[in-house]
Structure 1
């Protein structure tokens, strides 16, 4: 596996799951909330009094344009936090947040969260670390939308998914354990469903990927990484 190229694409990964953080000491200060899939947690520009700690499940953060179009930003999973964008003096949520699966959350008042960090400075690092990851992702997404064609972005998305949700098989094949729709990928990459469908069909016809049931399989991760890298250079 060409780890250098794969790792480079993984730095742009919008899927933040099984994060190396621990919020257990905050749990007794938090309200437990259970959500079903596709339930809204908060909306952009709402005043935010709470920070949400993700115990299990995944949450999708996205924006809605003035004309109603959706732009997905990231998927935040276990051990992640959402709502930290309301920690500043404006106290508004910068994004929408909706569940992408069944979710168990811990809901903490913003002031309690701030006081906890002041008393437990070791937790400041993991808060800043996640905020920094999200900021880097936004910078990368802005660059991709401005300068990168759709095909290398689709390839990059498959590579990122392979790192987060891939089962390595014989011959450098990787089976993705996470299923998704063309529309979900289109929202995440800031393009149209038709563009995603056309590019995925192109990759399938050239044997870079194959769909098995509801899930995709990358036939050779090195080949897909090389294609994505070459396409980026040509863009």
Structure 2
């Protein structure tokens, strides 16, 4: 069950790229309008059709944004981590409503700023709006890419592309820490968990990757892996 802490959260504001260009005094001012809300795992932050009048900043934990088809099938759209934000429609529209669902996928702490408070900061610090628009543009590009991939690319190519976008280089070894569960990855890539498992096994059998844990995957040769998907 969500519960509130009504006090300022400058540390939360500092996490977000749209605010971190401000000086300490300006950040403290914005933080005074933020209130912290704690959510337990699997709790919904909002549902489809709820009024969209708040900016949500992830302070701790993770949040899954997903949509529901008419048949009730979930489609994972993205996973948010500390420093990410959602609710930008509240910034751009006079009266908006959520078109998706947001679910805490771990114990999660959220800093929320209401639209009426945010509007006054946008008037004072227009750079915030420029950064919000930049973030929205990146999300639209990613969404368009995801739509094209699901419609025309084979599942293995989608998986390889996803892995390549999440690589971490450590002393000549390339690793990927999956940012979501296998179930969420499957809905994000437009397939099933069983297919994800089969494709990972196939890539492993061909010596292209090694699964160290459920979330940690080592890529032996990124160029060779990308060549497989081309």
TM-score, normalised with respect to structure 2: 0.81
The residue number in structure 2 matching 1:212 is 212
Return the structure number with greater helix share: 1
RMSD of the TM alignment (CA)?
A: 2.1
> Which residue of 1 is the match for residue 166 of structure 2?
161
Query: What does 1:42-191 correspond to in 2, within 5 Å?
Result: 42-87=46-91, 88-162=93-167, 166-170=168-172, 173-178=173-178, 180-191=180-191
Query: Does the 8 A contact of 1:21 with 1:79 survive in 2?
Result: no
Q: Which residue of 1 aligns with 2:19?
A: 22
Q: Evaluate the alpha carbon distance shift between residue 129 and residue 100 of structure 1 in structure 2; reply closer, same or farther with a 3 A threshold.
A: farther
Q: Which residue does 1:225 correspond to in 2?
A: 226
My pick for the range that moved more, 173-182 or 34-43, is: 173-182
Q: Where does structure 2 lack aligned partners over 5 or more consecutive residues?
A: 1-14, 21-26
Q: Is the 8 A contact 2:56 2:110 kept in 1?
A: yes
Q: For the residues of structure 1 that align with 2:16 and 2:114, how far apart are their CA atoms?
A: 22
| Counterpart secondary structure, 2:71 | coil
Compared CA separation, residues 159 and 44, structure 1 to 2 (3 A): same
Aligned length: 207
Counterpart Cα distance in 2 of 1:19 and 1:156: 27
Instruction: Give the distance between the partners of 2:180 and 2:133, measured in 1 at CA.
Output: 30
Using the alignment, how far apart are the partners of 1:51 and 1:189 within structure 2? 27
Residues 106/180 of structure 1: CA separation in 2 closer, same or farther (3 Å cut): closer
* Deviation, structure 1 residue 19: 6.3
SS in structure 1 at match of 2:51: coil
Rg comparison, structure with higher value: 2
Relative to the length of structure 1, the TM-score reads 0.79
- Cα shift at 1:102: 3.4
Q: Which has the higher contact order (CA 8 A, sep 6+)?
A: 1
